[in-house]
Structure 1
Amino acid sequence: MPDRLNDSYYLASAGEYPKNSPLVGDITADICIIGGGFTGLSAAVACAEAGIDVVLLEAEQAGFGASGRNGGQMIPGFNMAGDDLIKLVGQDVGHMLYDLAISARDRVHARIKKHGIECDLQDGHIHLAAKKRDFAYLEKEVAFSDTYVGKGEAVLVPPEDVGKYVNVQGYHGGVYVPKGGHLHPLKYARGLANAAQSAGAKIFEGSRVLSVEDHGKPVVRTESGSVAATTVFLATDAETTALAPKAGRYSMPVLNYIIATEPLGAERASALIPSNAAVSDSRFVLNYFRLSSDNRLLFAGGEKYSPTPPKDIAAFVRPYMLKLFPQLADARIDYAWGGAVGITVNRLPHIGRNGNILFAHGYSGQGVLLTTLVGELLAEVLQGDSRNFDLFDKIPHHAFPGGKFLRSPTYVAGMLYSAMRDRL
């Protein structure tokens, strides 16, 4: 990945991390997990704690990909309203899936507490309505939450009260979720890696997987070694297509870009986001932002559908920040970076299996919480209970159109069309 994507505030502030050695030689395991992001690391922790022999292979370092460079926003649920999920899969399956998704927040908190992970955890998330009709949609979401989760789990915020949470203009209300929140994603990823190793998992870094063969018992090969395993778990999100083209057709990698201002001081930072909540909005090409523990504004916004990042990420994102926070015109940008996330057509994660190979990808912006859920469900599967994991196979998914060579241009055309409607 180009260096200009790696100038991350998270990398600069996460502290020292001892890199694990690459895999050398041929070994065996009950499960070989490919990918050292939230999904793979959560699976490694849960499986190792259950007494399962775990090997995890990561091409770079734990948390190198989207898990260590995302917005850190903890948004309970799916990237789809509860009512719409039920219409898609039916009432019984919809309620079970919704309950699982909501449970992900408590699972993440439990992991942080159990393993003593210092990751700047902060409660609260607010989602803002960019258009009037979006507020009506949020009203329906809050009504659904009141019925199926509980009163007060999602709080409708009228337009006149938005300023109590975040000091921005032009929004038409929102919904505040007290049990949402934000964290330092790279610190969380590294905390999971340490917990997995403490539980007995073997993590090999600098071990890019070249192939996965499944002839009865899967064999995973790297440049300098191999793992023969009973089960393989692909936890590669935006990189899934390279190892599993069939599954990879159901998601597309999209590059997001984030900037971090200089430390603003407690008073100035609090004036921007009085609630210290994570913030996102309902634009198709959304803005999302939050404060860091040292009072920087971390801001993501803008649209760019080429796989090549801007030459100057800070210059690309900064105008979107200033549109919402013109008072930051004098603020220095200290860090600017990006990374790829997996997006599905219906914005729901694509989770399933192909023989002895299981996969999970396409979290579509909801991965900070859902990944820990999926990792723990994988451990259930290996202990003989696949009921919860298999619920995700009941979600209908559609491959991106266009075949091997036209998928990306077709997707870009669709994104540009939706972004144009967003602006209009």
Structure 2
Amino acid sequence: MNLLYANDRPGEYPASYYAATAAPLARFAPLRGETTADICIIGAGYTGLSAALHLAQAGRRVVVVEAHRVGFGASGRNGGQVGSGMRLDQDDMERIAGRDAARQYWAFGEEAKALVRDLIREHAMPCTFHPGVAHACWQEREVRATHAYAEKLARDYGYTQLEPLDRAGIRDLIGSDAYKGGEIDWGAGHVHPLNYAIGLAQAATAAGAVIHECSPVHHIQHGAKAVVQTDKGRVVADQVILACNGYIGGLEPKVAAKVMPINNFILATAPLEDPAAILSKPVAVADTKFVVNYWRLSEDNRLLFGGGESYGWKFPDLVKTVMKPMLEVYPQLRGIKVDYAWGGTLAITMNRLPCFTRPNPNVWSASGYSGHGVALATLAGKMMAEAVAGQTGRFDVMAALPQPRFPGGVALRWPLLVAAMTWFSLRDRLGI
């Protein structure tokens, strides 16, 4: 089974709230016959579109090939949160990379958020950057750790955008008694994810990039010039950027060994009668469960709530899967009408840090953002554009992050992942 088609119709967005409210975008023609490019980019999500935009602005001939539609994958289905830093906190980054390198990775995270805001503004994209992401803690010890971490970031990194919240503060913000406290990161934010992807595509094509949708890549013939073969055409290119994330499949085994696809799910309720009772401020929220719950209000006052994961090919019952964690947070919403429910495939790595690598001398790859990809994938595209132009320094810093392979190889990594995730999900339920 091909994951590209396991849960979706060819060339169609899922029946999501995002697709229903997407900005108009004419379809890009599939690739037919042979074409040439300085750089061929495989995948039209945030990574590929950001790379295409920055390369086209630099005057390079860029061809993007996408199996479905622009923003079809995780880029058009996610929770829209533009988070701070890397996927891990700075204590972990200091332990993994050392203090000096950890500061550089933090700076990359700050640059990534600013890049998203700047691109939206500079290109008049059809979306708005809304400031504020709250973190809600289930346990008192998590509250203490969260507040201590805010102090560390202010002291050691000069980051003063975190507003600590006690139990009353988090209750006032999210209208739920489920949490013991938390914080709001006012330097983070949230966007309409599909419209952001569409905005990147519009900006890239305006700069001269060529995009071909409905053009799945079957294989790459490597050499001094790479040949990227699709269903009905091929691209002969000096260099290739892999921007496939969870859909890399067998296209590049060296990447697939370190990047694992998993599924996550979101529902959108009918418009709420009293949205301020659910969120008193227009921020997004994520909690401290291992399988994270995350939510925000749409611009038409629906609750967009994400929760639950699966690790097989096919999606489960979407409404049932997400309704359970949603009602744990908001039991008062029992019986509310659900207008949209959708799933998506993202990619994780063993250590939850992004995987930057060069599987061949003229092939570049970045993926595995582990749920932190709106900002990081945008910056990754820019970094790969720099590297293709010969400025490899920042790409190399990201590639220096350790990236272990998943144990068990291709045959056993799925059951081992399921076993591990099931254990951590049990810990969530037990409150450990």
User: How far apart are 1:3 and its partner, in Å?
Assistant: 4.7
Match of 1:382 among 346, 370, 388: 388
Match of 1:86 among 80, 94, 97: 94
User: How far apart are 1:148 and its partner, in Å?
Assistant: 4.1
**Residues 393-414 of structure 1, C-alpha deviations (whole Å, 9 max, x = no match):** 1111111111121110111111
The answer to whether the aligner puts 1:169 opposite 2:177 as a matched pair is yes
User: How far apart are 1:119 and its partner, in Å?
Assistant: 1.3
Match of 1:341 among 336, 341, 346: 346
Instruction: Report sequence identity in percent.
Output: 41
Q: Which residue of 1 aligns with 2:216?
A: 208
1:276 counterpart letter in structure 2? P
Matches within 5 A, 1:224-239: 224-239=232-247
DSSP-derived class of the 1:373 partner: helix
Match of 1:362 among 362, 368, 373: 368
Q: Which residue of 2 aligns with 1:325?
A: 330
Matches within 5 A, 1:274-313: 274-310=280-316, 312-313=317-318
**C-alpha RMSD of matched pairs (Å):** 1.5
Alpha-carbon distance in 2 for matches of 1:43, 1:307: 29
Q: Is the 8 A contact 2:85 2:105 kept in 1?
A: no
Out of 72-81 and 137-146, give the one that drifted further: 137-146
**Residues 56-86 of structure 1, C-alpha deviations (whole Å, 9 max, x = no match):** 0000110111100111111111111112101
Alpha-carbon distance in 2 for matches of 1:117, 1:103: 19
| TM-score where L is the length of structure 2 | 0.94
2:352 counterpart letter in structure 1? R
Cα distance change on mapping 1:211 and 1:304 into 2, 3 Å: closer
**Residues 188-232 of structure 1, C-alpha deviations (whole Å, 9 max, x = no match):** 101110100000000011110011121222111112111111110
1:247 counterpart letter in structure 2? V
Q: Which residue of 1 aligns with 2:199?
A: 191
Alpha-carbon distance in 2 for matches of 1:151, 1:353: 33
Q: Which residue of 2 aligns with 1:372?
A: 378
Match of 2:408 among 378, 389, 402: 402
Size of the alignment, in residue pairs? 421
Out of 48-57 and 238-247, give the one that drifted further: 238-247
User: How far apart are 1:130 and its partner, in Å?
Assistant: 1.7
Q: Which residue of 1 aligns with 2:30?
A: 22
Q: Which residue of 1 aligns with 2:255?
A: 247
Matches within 5 A, 1:146-165: 146-165=154-173
Alpha-carbon distance in 1 for matches of 2:248, 2:22: 27
Q: Which residue of 2 aligns with 1:41?
A: 49
Alpha-carbon distance in 1 for matches of 2:105, 2:160: 21
Q: Which residue of 2 aligns with 1:219?
A: 227
Q: Is the 8 A contact 2:263 2:309 kept in 1?
A: no
2:142 counterpart letter in structure 1? D
DSSP-derived class of the 1:195 partner: helix
DSSP-derived class of the 2:222 partner: strand
Q: Is the 8 A contact 1:45 1:199 kept in 2?
A: yes
Alpha-carbon distance in 1 for matches of 2:301, 2:170: 21
Cα distance change on mapping 1:38 and 1:151 into 2, 3 Å: closer
User: How far apart are 1:41 and its partner, in Å?
Assistant: 0.6
Q: Is the 8 A contact 1:164 1:275 kept in 2?
A: no
Alpha-carbon distance in 1 for matches of 2:221, 2:150: 46
Q: Is the 8 A contact 2:260 2:348 kept in 1?
A: yes
2:100 counterpart letter in structure 1? D
User: How far apart are 1:97 and its partner, in Å?
Assistant: 1.3
Gaps of 5+ in 1: none
The answer to whether the aligner puts 1:56 opposite 2:61 as a matched pair is no
Cα distance change on mapping 1:148 and 1:23 into 2, 3 Å: farther
Alpha-carbon distance in 1 for matches of 2:339, 2:377: 29
Alpha-carbon distance in 2 for matches of 1:17, 1:42: 17
1:321 counterpart letter in structure 2? M
Match of 1:136 among 116, 138, 144: 144
Q: Which residue of 1 aligns with 2:77?
A: 69
Cα distance change on mapping 1:246 and 1:193 into 2, 3 Å: same
Q: Is the 8 A contact 1:262 1:296 kept in 2?
A: yes
| TM-score where L is the length of structure 1 | 0.96
Alpha-carbon distance in 1 for matches of 2:355, 2:200: 23
Q: Is the 8 A contact 1:241 1:249 kept in 2?
A: no
Match of 2:107 among 99, 104, 107: 99
User: How far apart are 1:175 and its partner, in Å?
Assistant: 2.2
DSSP-derived class of the 2:255 partner: helix
Q: Is the 8 A contact 1:380 1:386 kept in 2?
A: yes
